Amino acid sequence: MSSSVNLSAATKATLLASESGDALIFLLTISHPSFMEPARICTAALQRVSETDEDVIYGLISRGETYIFIPSITVTLPTEDDESAPGIGLSIGRYSEIVDIIRSIPMGEYPSIDVEMVMSGSPDVVEASWPQFDLQKTTIEPDVISGTIGLDSVDTEPGVPWGFTPAYFPGLF
């Protein structure tokens, strides 16, 4: 399965420029049936999204949804390898709320994670997206949470070993 990304000409020019005021931002939406609402996090602090007496929270608003900035997020995009199912590497610096979110999911169940890529100059325009990946493996260490986000490989799914032909299934024809 190819995971080729088709970027706009303007985005390619920005990414290839030696200097640019525009930055690449990843938006992650973590959802699970046990969540009241999805957790939305991002890789940049473009604006204040909320403020309390104790804290100021930064992030960005994209298409009407608020994404909270979490420091030290690293996203490793899928490769162009056609031999394996696409997978995204994710590493998040220690952040207690994300640890609580991951630990709140029942054992053996996986949250669904949508990964989107936007530019800081146009956060409402999604340049690329990888929807409905599952968090398949998670490691929580003292300073970092790392995991693999991927799709189930079709090659490992059970399949029908015969064809649906009139000889085997006359009622279908």
**CA 116: distance to chain centroid?**
6
Nearest to 78 by CA among 16, 2, 145, 154: 2
The answer to the question of residue 56 being in a domain is yes
pTM of the predicted model as reported, rounded to 2 decimal places = 0.76
Residue 121 in domain: yes
Q: Tens digits of per-residue pLDDT, 46-78?
A: 899 988 888 898 999 999 999 999 888 888 876
Report d(CA 58, CA 46) in Å as an integer. 7
pLDDT digits (tens, 9 = 90+) for 91-100: 887 666 776 7
Number of domains in the chain: 1
Structural domain that includes position 152? 23-172
Helix ranges (DSSP H) in the chain:
9-16, 96-103
69 found inside a domain: yes
Structure confidence at residue 173 as a pLDDT band (50, 70, 90): low
Q: How confident is the model at residue 29 (pLDDT cuts 50, 70, 90)?
A: very high
In a domain, 9, yes or no: no
> Quick check: is 160 in a domain?
yes
